[in-house]
Each structure stands twice: as C-alpha cells, then as structure tokens.
Structure 1
Amino acid sequence: MKNTPVTSNAATVTTISKSIMLDEPIKRGDSFISEVTIRRPKAGELRGISLMDLGNLSVAALQTVLPRITQPTLTAHEVAGMDPADLTEIGAEVAVFLVKKADRLAAYRTE
C-alpha cells in the first residue's frame, strides 16, 4: 500500500489517496485489476450515503461511494463481487478518510 501525503510546513498533514493491492484481482473483460487507488472523497461524493453506514463498512454504502473515488473506477457490480477481505481493507481506508486530520495524525504517531 502506498500513501500519498500532502505536506505543509515540512510536516505530513493528511493522506489524500491510498493504493491497495488486492488479494483477489477483479476480472474486467480480458484483464484483471490487481491494485485500486482510493482517494479522499469530497462531501458531494458522499451524497445519498449515511456516514454511519460508511463508517460501519456497509456493503451498500461502499457500493455507492467506491465508484466515485476509485482509480480505476470500479462499478457497483465489481464492488459487490469483491473478495470480502479486499472490501474490508478498502472500506477501512475509506473510514479513515472520514476522521478529522488531527485524529489521523494522532493515529499515525502511535503506529
């Protein structure tokens, strides 16, 4: 997994995207997607989604938001067919994006 930090005053302040290697690649046509990059969503990309559901890793909420924030863009059908371990990992990273910057920094300092 790769973090893409944004720096300010020589300190890392936020992660705006994260690349995740999938345990089970997603088949798309004749090719496979083995790595997905998710980026921090903007408020408008969260429309129609309960933040509580997203924070609780609701599959329905992830099926709605992931097509809006993934590269390559995953379809809701592809999200529904993902390996549960991959979906959990991606969902956990989305949940981290919902936390305030100061809380994210505190979590990274303890790791």
Structure 2
Amino acid sequence: MDTEPMKNEKNTATPAEHQTITDNFVVLDQHIKRGEQIINTLTLRKPSSGELRGLHLLDLLQFDVAATIKILPRISQPTITEPEAAGMDPADLLACGQVIAGFLLQKRAKAAASLIA
C-alpha cells in the first residue's frame, strides 16, 4: 500500500521534470512571447572571450542586471533580444545569471567548490 502514493506522485510530474536538465538549461517561470512563438526554456552556452567584449567579468559574477541583459542575446538558444531579456521575470534573469557565473569558473574552481559545499 505504501507504493501506491509514490506511483501517483510520479505520474503528476510536469513535462519539464522529465527533460534532461543540464547545467546550461534554464526553465523559465514566466515565458517570453515573440509573436506566435512562446519561449519556455533557454539553453545558454559558454561565451567566448570576444562575446564578453564591453562587459566586466566582475559584473557578471555579481549578477549585475545590465551585464546579464547584455550577454543573454549573445549566448542564448533560442536567441532572445536585449528588450526581451530586459522584460524577463527577475527570478528567470537570476537563474540565467547563475548559469553565466558558472561559465566563468575554471574546472578546478568548480571541483573545489563542490568538495567544500
């Protein structure tokens, strides 16, 4: 009898929970609407040094709103515009900022942080 509630709980999972979540995948709480297209998720890729031109790395590490809005169109898939990034829900913008900050750490630093945390 104890297994029945567990089966029911598994069946109530949302589609987003069934997707393979990677470190660079952000499920948006508030979708972005572009004409008829609705964007529910963003996949962010690690920016190249050239794509960081005009930005301060420290601003990205401190989750600076302006810097995050500026970099998102350069690294998001599907590509979003700066005005779309500026109109994002703050929680979604923060989630993107966390992914971006993670891109700026070396693998050694990520491994060390995992051991400490």
| Pair in the same fold by TM > 0.5 | yes
Say how many residue pairs are matched: 98
1:70 aligns with 2:95: no
The residue aligned with 1:2 is 21
The structure having more radius of gyration, on CA atoms, is: 2
- Percent sequence identity is 46
Structure 2 residue ranges without an equivalent (≥5): 1-19
**RMSD of Structure 2 on Structure 1 (CA):** 1.6
| 1:51-76 C-alpha deviation (Å, 9 max, x unpaired) | 11111111111121111100000100
Structure 1 unaligned residues grouped into runs of 5+: 4-16
Classify the secondary structure of the residue corresponding to 1:74.
coil
TM-score by length of 1: 0.81
The 5-angstrom pairing of residues 6-17 of structure 1 reads: none
1:22-37 map, 5 Å:
22-37=28-43
Larger helix fraction of residues: 2
Q: Which amino acid aligns with 1:24?
A: Q
Structure number having the greater strand percentage: 1
Q: Give the SS at the match of 1:42.
A: coil
Q: 2: CA distance between counterparts of 1:103 and 1:33?
A: 32
Return the TM-score normalized by structure 2: 0.77
Which whole-Å CA distance do the structure 2 matches of 1:37 and 1:72 have between them?
7
- 24, 47, 51: which is aligned to 1:41? 47
Alignment of 1:60 with 2:66, yes or no, is yes
